[in-house]
């Protein structure tokens, strides 16, 4: 076994020279990327570029293993997609009936670039046709933030105006935002596994991937809770009292301004602006508490409306909370190392 001495540079990094014959054999040179793998026995292996090219990942999900529970199956499919699978097979011991196939197609419609590639009585194969993972990460992030900027505001507007068409639009946009979230997590998962892809995407620092994953999660929750507000539009059967509408709009607009500020600070790296957003959470809590009490007083004879309005107000507060979480992410993004 050949041995090498570990060296340390002035910055505290540890260096190890590679055998010259090994470097020449693999046609490597200055700037070449090699793979590092830690085995179960904690031995460190160095792999040449050809050996670290990721192979297409695929998973087979058997319907019987999930008791034909489509919600459980959907969760597993989402996990496989976000982990980076290129191909997902849905199989069964028995022929899959038409209605079940239709529902399975609906599950896969929630993922960007994934299409039905093959189908037979007992099997459906879905593949990633469009390689969306190579879209610039910053573009994906900006797109996700742009989609969610006014989503909460429009959701509240749909409730106040009892505008079912606007509510449906909010729900649709919310679905697109969740698609983007899954795509962002998929991209980060692939980048962590593949150094070449990470370099191509400008994600060479692991903490950056971690921060982006947290931000993507927070943005997805903004879309989720805005969608939940819009859905209440279809549940409201009675008119909302005018004082409640005024206070609801006041809270909504205040949180909307918080969202605009945190989005601006996110790309500018403005830590003062992001901290201003954090401080505004106290005002949100104050408006929330007052509005909740007012709802119970003014709609005490209409329990259904009071419950729906209370749920809406709670969703707005949750959106404010995830907006503050994004503001915290700005600090991590600025001081990334």
Mean predicted confidence (pLDDT) in 308-326:
96
Which CATH number describes the domain made up of 58-128?
3.40.630
Domain-by-domain residue ranges, the chain?
Answer: 7-52, 58-128, 133-334
The yes-or-no verdict on residue 51 having pLDDT over 80 is no
> How far, in Å, CA of 115 to CA of 122, rounded?
18
Mean predicted confidence (pLDDT) in 132-155:
87
DSSP state of 86: S
Mean predicted confidence (pLDDT) in 136-156:
91
Architecture of domain 133-334: Up-down Bundle (1.20)
Q: Do 58-128 and 133-334 come out as alike in CATH topology?
A: no
Taking a C-beta distance cutoff of 8 angstroms, is the pair 166, 234 a contact?
A: no
Instruction: Record the tokens describing residue 89, joined without a space.
Output: 């097979």
> How far, in Å, CA of 157 to CA of 81, rounded?
34
Taking the CB of residue 174, how many other CB atoms lie within 10 A of it?
A: 25
Among the ranges given (28-32, 109-113, 300-304), the one the predictor scored with the smallest mean pLDDT: 28-32
- pLDDT tens digits for range 105-135: 999 999 988 999 999 999 999 998 876 667 8
Quote the pTM value: 0.80
Strand partners, 123: 91, 120
> How far, in Å, CA of 188 to CA of 141, rounded?
12
Q: What is the pLDDT of residue 55?
A: 65
> How far, in Å, CA of 315 to CA of 227, rounded?
9
Q: What is the pLDDT of residue 192?
A: 83
> How far, in Å, CA of 312 to CA of 156, rounded?
8
Q: What is the pLDDT of residue 56?
A: 73
pLDDT band at 17 (very low <50, low <70, confident <90, very high): confident
Q: Which of 219, 152, 146, 151 is nearest to 183 (CA)?
A: 219
The yes-or-no verdict on residue 196 having pLDDT over 80 is no
């Amino acid at each position: 076994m050949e041995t090498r001495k570990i060296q340390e540079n002035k910055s505290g990094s540890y260096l190890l020279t590679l055998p010259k014959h090994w470097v020449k054999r693999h046609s490597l040179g200055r700037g070449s990327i090699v793979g590092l793998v830690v085995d179960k026995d904690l031995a460190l292996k160095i792999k040449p570029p050809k050996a670290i090219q990721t192979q297409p990942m695929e998973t087979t999900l058997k319907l019987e293993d999930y008791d034909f529970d489509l919600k459980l199956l959907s969760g597993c499919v989402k996990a496989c997609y976000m982990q980076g699978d290129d191909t997902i097979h849905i199989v069964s011991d028995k022929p899959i009936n038409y209605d079940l196939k239709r529902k399975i197609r609906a599950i896969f419609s929630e993922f960007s670039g994934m299409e039905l590639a093959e189908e037979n009585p007992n099997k459906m194969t879905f593949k990633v046709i469009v390689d969306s993972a190579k879209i610039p990460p910053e573009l994906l992030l900006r797109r996700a933030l742009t989609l969610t900027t006014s989503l909460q505001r429009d959701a509240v507007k749909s409730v106040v105006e009892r505008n079912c068409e606007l509510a449906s639009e909010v729900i649709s946009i919310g679905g697109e935002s969740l698609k983007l979230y899954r795509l962002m997590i998929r991209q980060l998962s692939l980048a962590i596994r593949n150094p070449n892809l990470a370099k191509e995407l400008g994600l060479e620092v692991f903490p950056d991937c971690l921060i982006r994953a947290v931000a993507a999660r927070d943005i997805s929750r903004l879309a989720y809770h805005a969608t939940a507000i819009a859905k209440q539009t279809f549940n409201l059967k009675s008119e909302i009292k005018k004082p409640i509408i005024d206070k609801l709009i006041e809270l909504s607009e205040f949180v909307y301004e918080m969202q605009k500020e945190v989005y601006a600070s996110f790309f500018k790296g403005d830590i003062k602006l992001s901290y201003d957003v954090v401080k505004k959470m106290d005002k949100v809590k104050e408006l929330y508490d007052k509005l909740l009490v007012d709802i119970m007083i003014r709609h005490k004879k209409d329990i259904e409306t009071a419950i729906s309005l209370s749920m809406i107000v709670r969703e707005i507060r949750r959106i404010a909370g995830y907006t503050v979480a994004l503001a915290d992410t700005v600090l991590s993004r600025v001081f990334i190392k």
